[in-house]
Every structure is written in structure tokens, then in C-alpha cells.
Chain A
Amino acid sequence: MERVLAVIAGALAGLLALLSLASADLAPQFIVLASFTAMISASLIAISLPLVALLVALTSISLSILSPLVVIAVGAAIALISRRAEPVALSIGFSGLALYVTTGDPASLSLSLLSIAALSVASSKRPHALVAILSPALPLVAGAEVSIMALVLLGAMYLWLGSSPSPTCPFRRDSRLAFYGTVTGVLGIVAYFISSSLLSYGLWLVGLTMLISGIASPTRDEASPKA
């Protein structure tokens, strides 16, 4: 079920990305859309992606304030059903990101990174947890752009964790393809911050498509070709 939601959410994100290509200013959409790459990797919060897509599409202030609350509520509901802590951490993280887009306050980014740190501690991967614990300071020290990149890289890291035996990522389909997708998407985001060109946008969408393909892949890792 989570996988289906993630794929649907990713598909919506991609469609929105395509639509935003026709609009004049890509920047605000890009920040949120880029974060999708990380968040789909982190997976369990997938259900909230269409809500944030809606938030970006409508850019209404009232909706902007309402959406993070809805996202947290949905995350809490999933947590209750699944008896796992990650959905709450991730929904808070995602809401922080949404708030940053609407308010521009770096503290909301810190909130996102803090939630990722909590998740990292929960998954007991100590080196990653250490990095993640330190990361909430990033928005205050290094500025928003570096922080967003850190957030996305942390998302990629979670995907990496998901490909090893770990409870963090429930998607065990074609995790190598998903990983290639994440790396490509992250490269697109890095390219965007170096020079906000159309190429970076294209690279990111290629990454997202591959990531979704990995998640929704009909064939598991074991069926991958071996030369």
C-alpha cells in the first residue's frame, strides 16, 4: 500500500513538475519538487505528497498554513496504524519544508532536518545518525540552499539504507534503480544551485522518473541482468 501511494504521489509530483516547466519562474516549485526526491526515498510519508503538490499548485496562503497541519495529521494516523515512529518524524520534516517555502524562515528547515535526525537515530545507523543530528544547525550556519541540499542527500542516504536489511525503507523492489534515480535527482538539484538552468530541471525529472521506476518496478533486484 505504501509503495502504491509513493508511486501515485511521485507521479503527481512529476506531472506537476512538467506543468511548472511551462510557467515563468521555476524556483519555488523546484525547491518543493526537489524535496520530493528525498521524501519519496524516505517513503512512509508518501501519502502527504499530493497534499503538498496541491499546496504548490494553488499557492494560497491559507492553504499553505493548513497543508502542513494536514500532513502531520496524516503522518500521525499512519504512525498509529503502523505502530511506527517514522511517519510522524517524516511528516514533521515535510511540513517544515513546506513552511520554509511559504515563510522563508530557516528555522522551519531546521525542523525538517531535526526530524530526519530523529529518524536516523531510530534506525540505529550511528554514523548517519551523527551527521543527521548535527544537520539541524545547517540552516542557521550555512543558509537555506546548503541545508536543502543536505536534506536531499540525507534522503538519498535513507534510500541507501533501505537497500540494506533495515526497517527504515519498506520498498525492496528494484532498489538499485531507485538509488541511481536518487543520485541523478540529487545531481540535478546540485546543478540547480550551481546554475539554475533548464538542464538541472531535466536532470532532476530523469532522476525522479528512475526513482519511481525503482519503487514501482515489476521485477525485483534479484531479477536484474548479470553479464
Chain B
Amino acid sequence: MMQKVRYFMELTKPRQTALLLVTMAGAYLIAAKSIDVIMLAKLLIMGFTAIGGVTALNMYLDRDIDAIMKRTSSRPLPRGRLSFDEVMIGILVMLLIGITIASTINRYVLFAVLAGLYFDIVGYTELTKRFTPASIILGSIAGSMPALGGWAAGAGEISLPGILLAGVVYAWQPLHVWFLAYAAEEDYRKAGVPVASLRTDHKTFSILVVAHLAIMIVAIWGISWTIGAGLLTASISSVFVLLAIARVLYFYKSPSKTEALRIFKFASPTLAIVYLMMPIEIAVLQYLR
């Protein structure tokens, strides 16, 4: 039984889920400006179960692709470690917990959870992922929903700073997805998944990534401006994003899979710093006042 649970937990992609939880919790703390421990705990449980449930459903739907790709072929589903009913029950339990908690917070949080589910499963996985590189547009919307949900939990509404917090995640995603696909090129080609970094030359997609990162910087400063705080975070985050841009420009000049993998690994800290540092900065400022 415990082994089965462990296999199921693998389907939730714990590291990716953790990063999205950081964006959700960070956005909540920025909006709430004070820590309500019970609300934070509710949000984290909701986030883990909802994001984990959606990710597991995604894994179920993509199990044929995972079986083809070397990087993912050892996942529980391609190896037949879990039965259909075990996977479905796990997914439904997680989603049920997630939406139950979300519905007790407010309708905007529930909206973010359901929009994340819908854009990820229907928009991205089902309708576009296997057919067009533009699938990243819908996938990125899904990825930005935890931040929006976190903001809605703290502010009680969806307003401009929340949209900007979600926008930061949205603009960050090409950096994360396209360089991973470039580094694992054979896998993606074998599975026939169209990704922009494999469909265009490296210069074109590098420029697109830089454009997205520029938008990310604008969104970060936009958050700071609309909430009237977080200047230090905006400055330090911008340095991180500029470093990422510098790496991408280096890749533009001399592309290699090793460099693509380095950029991919640098992507997560670039995002996390915004959501980790800004709440701390706001809390310190409040304490000093």
C-alpha cells in the first residue's frame, strides 16, 4: 500500500509542485501583508492537492509520450506500477480535497484552481500539446494560476497586482520549458511533441525567451509599483533575470545542450526569488514601521 502511495506521489512531480506552491504562498503573503497561519496551511494543502491532482491527471494522459522518452520512461505509469483505478481514485481524492478547501476560501480562489485544471488538461494537454508549439501559451496560463489563487486568497479579489504576480510566472515559462526541450531534443523528437525550441532555429527562440524575460522584469516592477513596496526584491529579482538573459544571449552565440541544461537549472531560482523575498521584505518593512 505504502509503495503504491509512493508511486502515486511520483505522479504529482513534487519538485515542480513545490515551486508552484512557493508562487502561491508568496502571492498570498504579499496580498495579506500579515500571516494567518490557518489560512496559509489551508492554502498549502489546497495547493498541493489541486496542483498534484492536475499533474497526476496530466501524467496519466501523457503516459504514452512518457513511455517513449528516455527521461520519463521510468515513471510509474509507463512501467505499469499503478492500475487505472488506483490512479483515478488518487486523482479524484486529491482534486476533491483541493476544490473543497478552495470553495471554503472564496470564489476567486476556486476560479484559479479550476482555471488551472481546465487550461492545463483541456487547453494544453488535450487540445494543443501534440499539435502546435503554441501550446505553451495555454500551458503557461495554467502555470500562473497558483500565483493568482494565492493573491485572491489574501486580497479577497482578483486585482492588478495579482494579475501581475501571475504574469511573472507566465513570462518565465518559456525559459523553463524551451531550454529543457532543447537539452532533451532526441526525446522530444522521438515522441513527436512540437516545441518551439525544436521547431525554430536557436536564435529565434532565444530572442523570444529574452522578450519574455523582459516582460517578466516589467511585471516584477509593476507589482512593486502597484502595492507600493518590494523595491529591494524588484531590484534583486531583476539582477537574476538579467543574469538569465545574459546566459540566453551566450547560448544565442554558442548553442549547446550543456548550456541549455544550465539555463534550465537556473530558471527555477530566478522565479522563486520573487515570491520568497517580497513577502519577507514587506514583513520587515512593516516591523520597522
Contact = CB atoms under 8 A, between A and B. Distances in A.
B84 A198 contact: no
A224 B64 CA distance: 9
A223 B77 CA distance: 11
Contacts of B114: 17-18, 21, 202, 205-206
Contact of B103 (A7, A197, A210): A197
Interface string A5-41: 0010011001101100110000000000000000000
B270 to A, nearest CB: 30
B278 interface: no
A156 to B, nearest CB: 16
Given A10-B122, A177-B88, A219-B64, 14 more contacts: A11-B123, A15-B118, A198-B107, A199-B99, A206-B92, A209-B122, A212-B126, A213-B121, A213-B125, A216-B126, A218-B130, A225-B63, A225-B77, A226-B83
A92 to B, nearest CB: 28
A25 B100 CA distance: 20
* Size category of the binding interface on chain B: 35 or more
Interface string A164-202: 000000000000110010001000000000000111011
A102 interface: no
A164 B82 CA distance: 24
Given A199-B103, A225-B84, A219 B61 contact: yes
B155 to A, nearest CB: 15
A7 B126 contact: yes
27 contacts: A7-B122, A7-B126, A10-B122, A15-B118, A18-B115, A21-B110, A21-B114, A22-B107, A177-B60, A198-B110, A201-B103, A203-B96, A203-B99, A206-B96, A209-B122, A212-B121, A212-B126, A213-B121, A213-B122, A213-B126, A217-B61, A223-B63, A225-B63, A225-B80, A226-B84, A227-B83, A227-B86
Given A206-B117, A210-B57, A7 B127 contact: yes
Contacts of A209: 117-118, 121-122
A218 B126 CA distance: 8
Nearest to A10: B122
Chain B interface mostly helix, strand, loop or mixed?
helix
Chain A interface mostly helix, strand, loop or mixed?
helix
B111 interface: yes
B22 interface: no
A180 B57 contact: no
B113 interface: yes
Contacts of B83: 225-227
A217 B130 CA distance: 11
B95 interface: yes
Contacts of A218: 61, 64, 126, 130
Contacts of A17: 114
